[in-house]
Structure 1
Amino acid sequence: MKLDDVEESRNVEDRRMQSGGGQRLSAGAMMALWPLIRMLLRTKIGWAIIGIGLLAYLAGYNPLSLLSGPSGSAAHQPPSAQERVEADRMKKVLATTEQVWSRIFERYGRHYHPPVMVLYRGSTRSGCGYAQAQMGPFYCPTDRKIYLDLGFFDELSRQLGAPGDFAQAYVLAHEVGHAVQDQLGILDKVHRLQQQALRRGDKTRANHLQIPVELQADCFAGIWAHYTKSRLERGDLQEAINATEKIGDDALQKRAQGYVVPDSFTHGTSKQRMEWFLRGFKSGQLQACDTFR
């Protein structure tokens, strides 16, 4: 994907140099810290250190990381060359989504509010709870932020067999699609229906209600790709299509356990994900992305 002339988005929060990124301190951790805290309370400088630590904790830092030293958590290590390239690329991809969706919303007389992309390593705190790299990228409607551990792209390429810069761009565009759904009121409506299903004890229904949400986000990612056609290079579109196929519920379950359980699907099959992405890509129209019919 050609992005040389694109300026990086400013809607980025980089937490990669933090350790634990806001993990709450357990009672055990507090007990371990108590001797140090008691010593610090004896001096004015100690009070100042405690105050700074408290402010850091409220801002999302883990005070325990101060004890790990320069050779502690990998979160303190400077980004590798590959990670810097990927981070810069994602900031530019985010900027293209802002351009595309701002124009589309304007067409409908609305104002688009771009989500913030949070880059982190390992774990961090989100408005939707504790975020971990194992969860993969996700959009949190509570704080309207997209959480992304760049290590996921290594998994996407090596373990899932979906390499390429445009495969990565598709992943981010899918999460931006959820932000679009949020602003259109779709996520809230589906969430209410899911809660009703769960109150009835119908978890399968709650899972299946999530499928059109995810397929629509794929379709919205396709719309974004439609309006960035001039930036695509040879093989880019195939990278995105390959990614949709590799992360379908059926493909992931078969890879992980050797068999498929349709009742537990939450994102749709590989075929569905590919078809809805292409529908958005070919049409470029919101009306083409009605996955709830």
Structure 2
Amino acid sequence: MRLDNQRESQNVEDRRGGTMLRGSVGIGTLVIALAASYFLGIDPALIMDSGSGTSTPSPAGRPARAPATKDEMTSFVSRVLGSTEIVWHDIFQQAGRRYQEPKLVLFTGATPTACGTGRSALGPFYCPADQKVYIDLAFYRDLQERFRAPGEFAQAYVIAHEVAHHVQNLLGISAKIHAAQQGGGRQAAANELSVRLELQADCFAGVWGHRADTMQQIVEPGEMEQALAAAAAIGDDRLQRQTQGQVVPESFTHGTSRQRVRWFKRGMDSGDVRQCDTFSPESL
């Protein structure tokens, strides 16, 4: 990616090098959490804390600070976040609204969040309660080695997807969906709403990619395919086949590989958030 001229965001909080949180979590809870969140979940820490019966207090009021060590990956993450800020400020301004920038927290192992204890084993996630994106940069090694999705644009897609959950939070979409999920209906229906929310986040991530490239020409030849490969690698069907040897559509929470690629590409091709309505179509 061409990010040399992109400013670094000041909304990065580096907690790496601190004391790792310790707690008691049963293997059953871990399995449930992994199955429920898979990858790029909204706030998987909620699942972990509900299983352990404890909740780690949020570091409320703690100001974001610049990364302690300006390593190459930290700089990359800061520049990608800065790019999302430019794009979403522009989109919100055009709609007559004000965009509130999220914070991005770098951590190692585990860290306290307003949603409970965030753990690197569950992948990057967004916590709506404190409006922060959390990521252990070791995840990018898994993205390349486990998910076979190398490349900088694939890494940027991960951040853009979580920032998209922040956008959904600001627009009130997440709250409506979560309220509907708590309505006492079937679990399969709640899962379908989760799928639609995740696919919209994929589409929003594509909108960011389109607009960022239009504004600053950040995408190198062939990098579009990197992001598509990342989206395909994390489809529920593919992950279930890898982890349990069979596919159970009723338990999907993020969408199939084909769906994730389709909606990310839809946003990337159009650059139009109005093309990201995943809640109206009968077929995704």
TM-score by length of 2: 0.80
2:150 to 140, 163, 171: 163
1:1-293 alignment, distance < 5 Å: 1-21=1-21, 23=22, 84-196=71-183, 199-200=184-185, 202-229=186-213, 230-293=217-280
Which amino acid in 2 is paired with 1:228? A
Cα deviation, residue 19, structure 1: 1.6
TM-aligned CA deviation for residue 25 of structure 1 = 9.7
Q: Secondary structure at the match of 2:106?
A: strand
Provide, for residues 251-275 of structure 1, a one-character-per-residue CA deviation record: whole Å limited to 9, x for no partner. Answer: 1111112211111100000000000
SS in 2 for 1:227: helix
d(CA) in 1 for partners of 2:139 and 2:203? Answer: 22
| Letter paired with 1:254 | R
Structure 2 partner of 1:36: none
What is the TM-score normalised by the length of structure 1?
A: 0.78
Gaps of 5+ in 1: 27-56, 61-77
Q: What amino acid is the match of 2:153? A: F
AA aligned opposite 1:5: N
Counterpart of 2:42?
none
SS in structure 2 at match of 1:231: coil
Q: How many residues align?
A: 239
- What letter corresponds to residue 223 of structure 1 in structure 2? V
Letter in 2 for 1:212: R
Match of 2:37 in 1: none
| d(CA) in 2 for partners of 1:228, 1:58 | 36
**Higher RCO (C-alpha under 8 Å, 6+ residues apart):** 2
Query: Does the residue aligned with 1:13 lie in a helix, a strand or coil?
Result: strand
Q: Measure the CA separation in 1 of the matches of 2:98 and 2:57.
A: 31
- Secondary structure at 2:226's aligned position in 1? helix
Q: Secondary structure in 2 aligned to 1:204?
A: helix
State the 1:244 CA deviation.
0.4
Shift of 1:231: 0.9
Q: Secondary structure of the residue that 2:139 maps to in structure 1?
A: helix
Runs of 4+ residues deviating >2 angstroms: 23-26, 57-60
- Worse-matched range after superposition: 257-266 or 104-113: 257-266
Say which one has the larger Rg. Answer: 1
Q: Deviations over 1:7-59 (max 9, x none)?
A: 210011110111225x5699xxxxxxxxxxxxxxxxxxxxxxxxxxxxxx978
Q: Which string of whole-angstrom CA distances, capped at 9 and with x for unpartnered residues, describes residues 60-90 of structure 1? A: 5xxxxxxxxxxxxxxxxx97x9xx2222101
SS at match of 1:237: helix
Evaluate the alpha carbon distance shift between residue 92 and residue 254 of structure 1 in structure 2; reply closer, same or farther with a 3 A threshold: same
Q: What is the SS of the residue equivalent to 1:228?
A: helix
RMSD (Å) for aligned C-alpha atoms: 2.0
Q: Which is helix-richer, 1 or 2?
A: 1
Q: Report the Cα distance in structure 1 between the residues aligned to 2:100 and 2:207, rounded to whole angstroms.
A: 17
**2:63 paired residue number:** none
Distance 1:150 1:253 in 2: 24
Give, as a single letter, the amino acid of the residue that structure 1 aligns with 2:197: V
Gaps of 5+ in 2: 26-55, 60-67
Instruction: Give the counterpart letter for 1:219 in structure 2.
Output: C
Per the alignment, residue 69 of structure 1 pairs with: none
d(CA) in 2 for partners of 1:19 and 1:120? 10
